[in-house]
Amino acid sequence: MNDLKKITSALISVYHKDNLEEIVKKLNSLNVKLYSTGGTQDFIESLGIKVTAVEDVTSYPSIFGGRVKTLHPKVFGGILYRRDNPKDLAEASQYEIPPVDLVIVDLYPFEETVASGAEEQAIIEKIDIGGISLIRAAAKNFNDVVIVPSKNEYGKLIELLNEKHGETSLADRKWFAASAFNVSSHYDTAIFNYFNQDSTFPVFKQSITKGSTLRYGENPHQKGFFFGNLDDIFQQIHGKEISYNNLLDIDAAVNLISEFSETTFAILKHNNACGIASRENLIDAWKDALAGDPVSAFGGVLITNKTVDAETANEINQLFFEVIIAPAYDEKALEVLKSRKNRIILIQKPAQLPAYTHRSLLNGVVMQEKDLSIETENDMQTVTKQAPTSAEISDLIFANKIVKHTKSNAIVLAKNKQLFASGVGQTSRVDALQQAIEKAGTFGFDLKGAVMASDAFFPFADCVEIAHQAGITSVVQPGGSVKDNDSIEYCDHHNIAMAFTGIRHFKH
């Protein structure tokens, strides 16, 4: 069965005229009758190509400031009537409805207008009515009509016109129809989310139109996909394709480093920091971050908030790692780091990340505001007789930032803005603390004078007791347990300083 159909007429109504000229000239060379209106009509006429105004077909002008131009039975009838249906053919003839075989649309830039910070009235005027209706109508009648729903499909259309000389197959038209509903559904989602910013409607709608297939998911037997545009956040300048697990670690790394303004280096493994330090010089930050756990650092993800220099790169290059992220690299540093062909090197761009997080579970999705709370010295209420020293306060703030980004139950031990050890993802807080103490000892850290941060309150006094016996002298935690006084009394009896923040940082 021959399903090829010849394009004899086209309706063109677009916002962006970029790259449209080639299409218009090609359609004209194929003797396709062109219909248009408004600015698109002016553009076509400026090319010296004949075009029929939609108003001449409908006998109605563009009205209401351009809000109504193509919304007319003679336009939509020409798109929607079924060419193999005798009744439709008779009605099209009766009402003098000309056929439209190709519809090219590029919608008003609603999302861009919202992102620009425009006033509401300007945003509302960028809600496309005629264009979105043309897209849906042409896509519905894909048996007979080709729909090009955005400028992103211009290239596909010109390729098709050149290859098939104005003819299209059913498969071609169905592909464009699918693309059209992708465009229209995304557009409507953006509009809904604009109107639902205060979550008046408990509805989950997300639309991401760019995606990629990953090598595999969390494990080789699982398929994996990423939906989003990493180019908005990173420039990859070297290395292999980023994997599913790389993405998880990169996300954790970016969120962690965002907490620090002073020169900081962090090493992450399985989404948790295994080493992090803040120093005046990057080379010292790297060395002290690595000292936190040189074993776990193998195969990890590295991130810093400063330009990587050649001296630091030479030190880093002694370690096998998967990914490094920085705002910039010296030329000589890149020469060193590129010595391993698969090593992923990313430049982090300034970018605003989403304010909400969501994950699928059971038969639905949970969504929450991102944990953006960053506790400062003013947020730390000393609840013990002994107050933390200025050095301890600095370390408590440092440790609290790390524990916020560590899998619960979590304990972080730190001193002089260096992670000594952490207890990660344990089923009890005591287990997390004991894990951290043991790990600190393994790598030769003396915990005398170190500080402890906890992501949640201590239900009993056992944690401060164990910490004291290990040498910890200052503690930060949210507080809020019915037995807070037990922990406070123990600290008072043993000259330990403890501060409450009132903010819990569970991370699951």
DSSP output for 430-499: HHHHHHHHHHHHHTT---TT-EEEESS--SSTHHHHHHHHHT--EEEE----TTHHHHHHHHHHTT-EEE
> Has 221 been annotated as catalytic?
no
Which is catalytic among the residues 140, 186, 240, 306?
Answer: 140
Q: Using CB atoms within 10 Å of the CB of residue 274, give its burial: 0 to 12 exposed, 13 to 18 middle, 19+ buried.
A: buried
Question: In 3-state terms, what secondary structure has residue 167?
Answer: strand
| Closest to 144 in 3D by CA, of 8, 24, 1 | 8
477, 457 contact by CB (below 8 A): yes
- Between CA 76 and CA 3 the distance in angstroms is 23
DSSP states of 296-352: TTTTEEEEESSPBPHHHHHHHTTS-EEEEEES-B-HHHHHHHTTSTT-EEEEEPP-P
| Structural contact between residues 148 and 154, judged by C-beta atoms closer than 8 angstroms | yes
Q: Residue 37 burial (CB < 10 Å; 0-12/13-18/19+)?
A: buried
Asked if residues 403 and 411 have their Cβ atoms less than 8 Å apart, the reply is yes
Closest to 199 in 3D by CA, of 368, 329, 380: 368
Cα separation, 424 vs 435, in Å, equals 8
Which amino acid does the sequence have at 409?
N
**Is 33 among the catalytic positions?**
no
Assess whether the previous peptide bond of 143 is cis (omega < 30° from 0).
no
One of 164, 238, 240, 270 is an active-site residue; which one? 270
Q: Which residues are catalytic?
A: 140, 270
